[in-house]
Amino acid sequence: MMNSIYLATEGEGVHLGTPQVFVRFQGCNIGCLNCDSKDTWEFEDRLGLSMDEILVQIHEKSNSGRIRRVSITGGDPLHPKNVPAVSKLARELKARRYFVNIEASGTRLVHEVFDSIDFISFDFKTPSTGVETPLESVKKLSEQYEGRFQIKSVIENEKDFDYVLGAAEKLGEFSFPWVLTPAFNLGELLPFERFNKIIKWNEKSGGLFRVIIQQHKVIHGADKKQV
């Protein structure tokens, strides 16, 4: 079930600034309170393309294969209804030597997908999302996918920051990148104050995290899609 395929420059996390083709799957029932992609929640195929047609679109959007990176996102690409297509797509892309990243919502570890791709961006959800990520999942990632994943947490307020800090302290020493994304909600202008506060809280508590704002929202505004 596909929502869209488009070329854009990564706007968040450790691959910030890297052009890639985004393959956005449709369908998500996780229900984050601050979701900025509610248009992806319905389980329906908006593009109606076969796998071969999807691969043709990726080739075209990647400037005939000159852009070598693909990011599989959603919606929830790891919902069981999407996993067979995501697995097949990942294998086809690897056979064509693309660098493949997946944006995982943090509710499922799907090894059949993780084992076949290059990088996993895994959400550790905060209280403001209303969704919980088991810390055990982060531990498993660090044991099995060292050097191939990042953790991302959206921070709305100090409660979110304290929650993530508590989780990181429980985990003990870690070397993977844990990115704090200042919430940049629909309809909001650049949240300077929130951004600055998170930077200060991080500095004060030992700098365990990387604070990175969503660059695409700085450039295009919080509401623009496919950028």
Which residues are at the interface with ligand SF4 (CB under 6 A)? Answer: 28, 30-32, 35, 37, 40, 74-76, 105
Q: How far is the CB of 117 from ligand SF4 (least distance, A)?
A: 18
139, with CB counted inside 10 A (0-12, 13-18, 19+), is middle
Cβ proximity to ligand SF4, 62 vs 191, nearer residue: 191
Q: What is the 3-state secondary structure (H, E, C) of 30-73?
A: CCCCCCCCHHHCCCCCCCCCCHHHHHHHHHHHCCCCCCCEEEEE
Q: How far is the CB of 37 from ligand SF4 (least distance, A)?
A: 5
Q: How far is the CB of 154 from ligand SF4 (least distance, A)?
A: 8
Cβ proximity to ligand SF4, 186 vs 219, nearer residue: 186
Cβ proximity to ligand SF4, 105 vs 121, nearer residue: 105
What are the φ/ψ torsions at residue 18 (nearest 5 degrees)?
-95, 125
Q: What residues pair up with 181 in beta bridges, in sequence order? A: 154
**Structural tokens at position 181:** 């994304």
Q: How far is the CB of 96 from ligand SF4 (least distance, A)?
A: 27
Q: How far is the CB of 203 from ligand SF4 (least distance, A)?
A: 27
Q: How far apart are CA 81 and CA 76, in angstroms?
A: 9
Q: How far is the CB of 29 from ligand SF4 (least distance, A)?
A: 8
33, with CB counted inside 10 A (0-12, 13-18, 19+), is exposed
Cβ proximity to ligand SF4, 74 vs 182, nearer residue: 74
Cβ proximity to ligand SF4, 82 vs 105, nearer residue: 105
Q: How far apart are CA 197 and CA 200, in angstroms?
A: 5
In one letter, which amino acid is 75?
Answer: G
Cβ proximity to ligand SF4, 1 vs 30, nearer residue: 30
